Amino acid sequence: MPMPQTPSGGGTQPAPAPPASGGGESISVPGSQANVSQLESYRVIIAWKLSGKTTDGKNVEEQTTYTQALHRPSNTSHTLVVENKPGAQGTRSEIYSVGDTLYIYEQASGACQPAMMAGMGDMLRGITDAMTAPLQTGEAKLVNRGETINGILTDHYTLDEASASQFGAVVEKADLWVAREGGYLVKYDLTIKVMPGSMNPANIPADVATFSEGTIVYNWTLEDINKTTITIPSACSSQTVGVDLPLPPGTQVDMAMGNLTMGKVSASMDSVLAFFKTEYPKLGYQLTYETGDAQSGYILEFAKSGQKVTVQFSTSSDGSVGITLMRE
């Protein structure tokens, strides 16, 4: 999905709201994540559309819409990406998250694939920062004060001439609306007219570098501010993530998906070995195979009612014991 690259030096630096009247005729362009940490919930919608021709004369007409809802109190998010290209079947990707637990959801079939990976929840919820407006540095000039956008009182700005020129093409529209209270970005509309040789590689990603003429339209908007709710589909929340078998006390699970669970624990190899050989027989699992030692690590295989469970563990570089649990 073609998305803009961010020039170095941009980012999430706070951009305080200008005064209600007088002064403040220009501001530094705020990043998409600037000051949004103060909001309990919101829904961001990003639409990116290309229409025109490539350098080899092929027609381009494609649009990607990215929507992410975030609810901080429950640490949940919902991400939806829809891509449409003429002559090709559109794609739809949908992910729910609760903390680090992710649910890949297929709306058409109602199927849900749960997974867990340490840090993935924060990474998913931070994607919007990587998909922010194409320009994160520069100045914007005041157009009008006191415009209400999506229920929020904002001040309306437009990129100044020097900032707009960074695109290396004709900027037909470059307007942004900043919340009067809070200083966060509420809306950003950008339209670029591209002519042969006019594109600036510093602001256009490599996968659209062959786009030679036409129009690029980018719309970013923050909606349902402090009113967003997220409901995890029952097909997702009712499923088990990873292998639902016990691990040694204190184990940090780093990844769990389907019949595979991986983690690590600060313990001795002997204590981890003793845990599996003691606790799993209590659950009806019979030890059918064992190999290894404390230096190279162990592989244990258990069986119960035709089901096989393989446990592998060895000492990691940080001194912890890395554990892989797989059910067959």
Burial class (CB in 10 A: 0-12, 13-18, 19+), 89: exposed
Alpha-carbon distances of 287 from 14, 305, 325, rounded to whole Å = 58, 13, 14
Q: Where are the alpha helices (DSSP H) in the chain?
A: 120-125, 127-130, 161-164, 234-237, 269-282
pLDDT at 13 (0 to 100):
37
pLDDT at 128 (0 to 100):
58
Amino acid present at 14: P
Residues contacting 37, CB < 8 A, separation 6+: none
pLDDT at 131 (0 to 100):
59
Whole-angstrom distance, CA of residue 4 vs CA of residue 105 = 27
3-class DSSP assignment, residue 3: coil
Mean pLDDT by 10 residues, the chain (328 residues): 35 41 68 84 91 83 90 91 80 87 87 78 62 68 95 93 78 91 92 73 52 86 94 81 85 85 93 96 95 94 94 93 93
Q: Within its chain, how far is the Cα of 127 from the centroid?
A: 3
pLDDT at 1 (0 to 100):
37
DSSP type of residue 99: T
pLDDT at 120 (0 to 100):
67
How does DSSP assign 180-238, residue by residue? Answer: TTT--EEEEEEEEEE-TT---TTTS-GGGTTEEEEEEEEEEEEESTTT------HHHHT
